[in-house]
């Protein structure tokens, strides 16, 4: 059994503008840096020193993880398998922009009828498998860890813990405690 403290990265300008980030996007903005520092302080007060910190290799997550790792006296370990889903055509754009250029694909994506409707996006099933494998791999490596990642990754993990069909509004720098036991994932209070 392992406990993972799974964190969504701090705010970026693209979050504020409601742009899809996927594998692209800027680093943290001033609010995001403050969010990361605040969360780092809270985690340092509740976790043992040198708790391992794993992070997506994308800039916004790495910057958040660096603040947390420094507060814990640890080192952030980047992993490509903790990246957000590759969103192809969506990346860098808003729904409004895409609705003008690709209205049918956006309508299918928003309705959840076809989450693979966006051209060049990472297939959802492959993304979900990548995320679950990464969480289980980290759980095998240590009894407790902080995992800094993205909203889409968190949604996959929370659905694995709470069941399919759930939707989540995840704030920047939100943190969820998950227990990983073999293939099973459960949310802890």
Angle at 111 between CA 110 and CA 112, to 5 degrees: 90
In tens, the pLDDT along 12-58 reads 999 999 999 999 989 999 999 999 999 999 999 999 999 999 999 99
Is 84 a catalytic site residue? yes
> Could you say which of 9, 11, 91, 150 is catalytic?
9
Portion of the chain with pLDDT greater than 90, in percent: 79
Domain boundaries, the chain: 2-86+123-188, 88-121
Instruction: Output the pTM of the full model.
Output: 0.94
Spot the catalytic one: 5, 11, 63, 84: 84
Residue of 34, 43, 45 lying closest to 10 (CA atoms)? 34
CATH of 2-86+123-188, one of 3.40.50.1240, 3.40.630.30, 3.90.1150.10, 3.40.50.150: 3.40.50.1240
**110-133: pLDDT as tens digits:** 776 667 667 788 998 999 999 999
Judge whether 102 counts as a catalytic residue: no
Region for 139 from its dihedrals, namely left if φ exceeds 0, alpha if ψ lies in -120 to 50, beta otherwise: alpha
Q: What is the pLDDT of residues 64-90, one digit of tens each?
A: 999 999 999 999 999 999 999 998 888
Given a contact cutoff of 8 angstroms between Cβ atoms, the answer to whether 8 and 170 are in contact is yes
Which ranges constitute the DSSP H helices of the chain? Answer: 13-17, 30-46, 59-72, 95-101, 103-110, 124-141, 151-162
């Amino acid at each position: 059994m392992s406990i993972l403290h799974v964190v969504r990265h701090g705010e970026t300008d693209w979050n504020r503008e409601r742009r899809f980030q996927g594998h692209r996007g800027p680093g943290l903005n001033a609010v995001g840096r403050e969010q990361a520092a605040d969360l780092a302080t809270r985690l340092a007060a509740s976790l043992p020193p040198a708790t391992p910190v794993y992070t997506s290799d994308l800039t916004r997550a790495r910057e958040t993880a660096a603040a947390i790792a420094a507060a814990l006296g640890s080192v952030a370990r980047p992993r490509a398998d903790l990246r957000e889903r590759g969103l192809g055509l969506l990346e860098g754009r808003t729904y409004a922009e895409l609705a003008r250029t690709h209205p049918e694909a956006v309508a299918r994506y928003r309705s959840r009828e076809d989450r693979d409707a966006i051209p060049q996006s990472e297939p959802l099933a492959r993304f979900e498998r990548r995320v679950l494998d990464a969480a289980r791999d980290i759980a095998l490596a240590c009894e407790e860890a902080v995992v800094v990642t993205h909203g889409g990754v968190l949604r996959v993990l929370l659905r694995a813990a709470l069941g399919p069909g759930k939707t989540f509004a995840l704030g920047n720098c939100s943190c969820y405690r998950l227990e990983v036991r073999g293939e099973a994932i459960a949310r802890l209070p």
